[in-house]
Amino acid sequence: MKNFIIFLFLCLVPLNAFADCELKVRVTDYAPQYYQDNGKWKGLAVELVEVLLNEANCKPIYLIVPWKRALDHMRIGKIDIMLNLSITDERKEFINFIGPQRDESMILVVSEDTNFEIRSLEDIKKISGLIGIQRGAYYGESFKVKYTAEETFAQKFYEVTYAKQFVKMYNAKRLSGFFIDRYEFFYKLNTNEEFKGLKASKFIINQDFVYFGLSKESVSNELLDRIQQAYEKAKAKGKFERVLERYR
């Protein structure tokens, strides 16, 4: 009888309750990637990292940190994992990448009354007013080069700390548009009244894959190998794809 009770207890307790490692994961309040429901973190990015860490028998410890500051914390090992990361030469100096985590298409969102088509980065100059971008975010090499080299182009943009500031600033007429991931925009368009009156430009700012990023400072090579193996196993079982399918 005693053995049966122990067996029943083990069946009822979540697997990650017995995890033999804990990793600090950066999150923010920004659905559908991250949001809280009754004190529990949920969302697309959260589900994907939990698939990965459960497979590795690790437990996530979620920390709310702004994007740019989180990158600085990754450099010194105060955060172990960031999600939705594009690979850049600068980031490769202090981050190991596992993935891809998912596909990402960064688009420009503007008023549905905007009556001309945007076909290139250069066309953004024609928009009256400022375009919102997130501080520390990566929008592709073409954007990075143009933003760095052309002052008149760079002056069209306003940097924010949190992406959730975009729509509030747009509705306050402080922005004429902003860059956002396609998954996020269409989710918000269907669930958030503040997004009414906005439309997605057909021009894609940057299309690529994003990855799980692990701090070289705080995640040992041994643990990195273990998480890499967990990624391959979860991918082979179709676990990531099942999560993505629900959000598509």
Q: Name the residue among 127, 200, 132 with its Cα closest to residue 166.
A: 132
Residue 56: predicted pLDDT: 98
Question: What class is the 104-207 domain?
Answer: alpha beta
Looking at residue 3, what is its pLDDT? 52
CA distance 168 to 185: 14
Of the candidates 15, 117, 2, the one whose C-alpha atom is nearest the C-alpha of residue 59 is: 15
Copy the structure tokens of residue 179: 């860059």
Which of 14, 183, 23 is closest to 107 using CA atoms? 183
pLDDT tens string for the chain (248 positions)?
555 444 444 455 454 455 689 999 999 998 899 999 999 999 999 999 999 999 999 999 999 999 999 999 999 999 999 999 999 999 999 999 999 999 899 999 999 998 888 999 999 999 999 999 999 999 999 999 999 999 999 999 999 999 989 999 999 999 999 999 988 999 899 999 999 999 999 899 999 999 999 999 999 999 999 999 999 999 999 999 999 988 87
SS3 129: coil
Query: By the 8 A CB rule, do 27 and 41 touch?
Result: yes
CA 137/CA 121 separation, integer angstroms: 17
Token pair 């994003």 is found at 210
Q: Residue 84: which H helix or E strand, with range?
A: strand 81-85
At residue 52, the pLDDT reads 98
CATH number of 16-103+209-247: 3.40.190.10
Tokens of 119: 């076909």
Three-state DSSP at 204 gives strand
Reported residue count of the chain is 248
Q: How many CB atoms lie within 10 A of CB 125?
A: 13
In the chain, domain spans: 16-103+209-247, 104-207
